[in-house]
Structure 1
Amino acid sequence: MITTIVEYKLPSALTRGEILEKFKAAQEKFIHTKGLLKKYFCYNSSDATGTSVYLWESLSCAEAFFTSEMLHAFEKTFGCRPEVRHVDTLMTIDNVTDEVSVFHA
């Protein structure tokens, strides 16, 4: 499993409600995306920074999503270019389902 962490700083702060509306407007592009297991939309209104966390089946799925076109569209929508990092997810703990999962390479 691959976790992608996307961080960005908006040119000006938005309220929680304003950024939530932008997130809702973008949700369709993530539903049924090949290989995307989960996506978390996060925002800190005190410093206008956003963080998105994606859980992917594989690195190839993550890389196929984060194209130069996708990053350009992000920049056009939010007015900033995000920093994107892909990391190997070795293990997860889910306290809602009481599951511990270990992922092998």
Structure 2
Amino acid sequence: MIGVTVTFSYPSGFDRARVVEVAEGARGMFEGMPGVRFKFFTFSEKQQQAVNFYVWESEEAAEQFFSPELRARVTDLYGAAPAIEYVEIAEIVDNSKA
């Protein structure tokens, strides 16, 4: 499994309402999406960042998704260009079913 961190940094002018609105509007797109196991929309007003974290079934699926066209579209949506980092996931603990 592959984890992908997508970070939008705002040197100034962080807009919490905009970030939440984008997350609410995009949620449905990821529900049931092939290859995506989890997607988390997060933000930190203190750090002036929106950080989205994905868990993908494969690196190939993730790389296909994060195309240059998608990067341009999310830059427009969030008002900041994303930094995208891939990491290999060794294990997941999911206590939600406990």
Band the TM-score falls in, shorter-chain normalisation:
0.7 to 0.9
Counterpart of 1:103 in structure 2 is none
Q: Which structure has more strand as a fraction of its residues?
A: 1
Counterpart of 1:65 in structure 2 is 65
1:13 touches 1:47 (CA, 8 Å); kept in 2? no
Structure 2 unaligned spans of 5+:
none
Percent identical pairs in the alignment equals 24
| Superposition TM-score, scaled by structure 1 size | 0.81
How far apart are 1:12 and its partner, in Å?
Answer: 1.4
Q: Distance in 2 between matches of 1:92 and 1:38?
A: 11
Q: Distance in 2 between matches of 1:89 and 1:95?
A: 17
| Greater RCO, CA 8 A, separation 6+ | 2
Structure of greater Rg: 1
How far apart are 1:22 and its partner, in Å?
Answer: 1.7
Structure 2 SS opposite 1:5: strand
Structure 1 SS opposite 2:40: strand
Structure 1 unaligned spans of 5+:
99-105
How far apart are 1:30 and its partner, in Å?
Answer: 1.7
Is 1:56–2:77 an aligned residue pair?
A: no
| Superposition TM-score, scaled by structure 2 size | 0.86
Q: Distance in 1 between matches of 2:83 and 2:37?
A: 21
How far apart are 1:96 and its partner, in Å?
Answer: 3.0
Count of aligned pairs:
97
The CA RMSD measured in Å over matched residues stands at 1.6
